[in-house]
Structure 1
Amino acid sequence: MKTFDLNAEPRLELGKKSVKALRKEGKIPAVINGGTIVELPFNGTLKPGEKLVEIDDKRGIITTDVVVKNDDVRKLIYTPDIFEVNLNVNGETKKVVMKDLQFQPVKDTVLHIDFLEVYPDKPIVMEVPVKIEGHAEGVKAGGKLVMSMRKLKVKAAYTEIPERLVINVDHLGLGKSLAVGDLHYEGLELMNAKNAVVCAVQLTRAARGAAAKAAEA
């Protein structure tokens, strides 16, 4: 997985007014999920962007609400690639991946980003692009290769997740398809429905005509 360096600022204020002001400044509100609790004797003072939380009788602070600059995330968002992001907040670098994006439906501008903090020993689920390799037998026979899924959900430690899931289609014949259940990658668990079709070779008119002539001969 490629890496991407990104600076973030703690989000000082919450609410609709502050969100509008941030967006006018070319900034995007974001949240960091999955962070670990920092166990400290709480003295009643929190830094901007920090929250006091309690999980399993452990009390501590965690940074969740941040702001990033729109110009800084363009190469992270408008690409088919997936990245391990080195997110610098208050001088501390957190390793995160981008989990979700919210877009403005008309202008298509980014409204909000969800990051997930990752750890080498903790599996995550994320979508990975699919890359087709080879030349299908069915295409050679006049069929057309159709992609139904361009990304697959994968569960693994983030250090094991590849940039692409390569699928070889050399032996895919006319009218045949490859489903999620037909695919296997060492160290990765595919989370999509096993019967979901990833790609198929569809019969074209030319292929149907050739098959009909062959049957008549």
Structure 2
Amino acid sequence: MKTITIEGQLRTGKGKKDTRQLRSQELVPGVIYGGAQEVSFAAPAKAFKPIVYTSEFMKAEVNVDGTSYTCILKDLQFDKVTDQLLHIDFLELVEDKKVIATLPLHLTGTPTGVKAGGRLVVKMKQLKVKALPKDLTEAITLDISNLELNGNVRVEDVNAGNMEILNSPRIPIASVVMTRQLKQEEASEGKKK
């Protein structure tokens, strides 16, 4: 799994004035939850770009005044007008403590329904899972090559290994629908008979 390193400094003040001052220095305030204690820190806005502006799931190694924390991204806050990152929350990974994470879903294979003229419609691109840190993966891979025309694959069809999927099992992930051309061909064949 990809890991990025973020160098931060401990924050002492936690009020609006202090955070405004940090942002004026192009620093982003952040918090690390889930460990022995809550850690408030600040780091340069550029340091967060690789983890914020990606669809990949990755770990962050946050170094705050000599102490290193292995974390995953938990929450982000952006400015409504400038779209600037205002605040970031991380969840510390503790070996024996399960965490909830949102993992990307990678669909592999060409569905048989698409080969027959259908169109693939992807309805979900990520799944929410609960797992121990050692069981987390970069993505959940799902083979959809057996997906028939007018068929769909649901959350319950996903094998996530040691991870518990928190999404509702009946939600469709992807389906193969008939194209307009295929419907017209079927209708014209029906009229010929």
Give yes or no for contact 1:141–1:207 (8 Å, CA) kept in 2. Answer: no
Give yes or no for contact 1:152–1:190 (8 Å, CA) kept in 2. Answer: yes
Mapped pair 1:183 → 2:158: yes
Distance 1:201 1:176 in 2: 6
Distance 1:171 1:9 in 2: 51
Match of 1:66 among 22, 26, 41: 41
**Normalised by the size of structure 1, how large is the TM-score?**
0.83
Distance 1:16 1:175 in 2: 54
Aligned twin of 2:53: 78
Aligned twin of 1:48: none
Aligned residue pair count: 192
Task: Name the aligned partner's letter for residue 27 of structure 1.
Answer: L
Aligned twin of 2:17: 17
Aligned twin of 1:137: 112
Cα deviation code 1:189-211 (max 9, x no counterpart)? 11111111111112210121233
Match of 2:121 among 143, 146, 149: 146
Give yes or no for contact 2:4–2:50 (8 Å, CA) kept in 1. Answer: no
Q: Describe the SS at the equivalent of 1:131.
A: strand
Task: Name the aligned partner's letter for residue 8 of structure 2.
Answer: A
Aligned twin of 2:140: 165
Q: 1:158 Cα shift?
A: 1.7
Gap runs ≥5 in structure 1: 37-61
| Paired-residue identity, % | 32
Distance 2:190 2:84 in 1: 55
Distance 1:211 1:120 in 2: 57
Q: 1:215 Cα shift?
A: 3.9
Q: 1:105 Cα shift?
A: 2.2
Aligned twin of 1:29: 29
Task: Name the aligned partner's letter for residue 10 of structure 2.
Answer: P
Task: Name the aligned partner's letter for residue 152 of structure 1.
Answer: L
Distance 1:195 1:103 in 2: 33
Aligned twin of 1:95: 70
Gap runs ≥5 in structure 2: none
Distance 2:43 2:175 in 1: 41
Task: Name the aligned partner's letter for residue 183 of structure 1.
Answer: V
Distance 1:193 1:211 in 2: 35
Distance 2:158 2:16 in 1: 45
Distance 1:189 1:213 in 2: 47
Q: State the Cα RMSD in Å.
A: 1.4
Aligned twin of 1:127: 102
Q: Describe the SS at the equivalent of 1:170.
A: coil
Distance 1:105 1:207 in 2: 45
Q: Describe the SS at the equivalent of 2:19.
A: helix
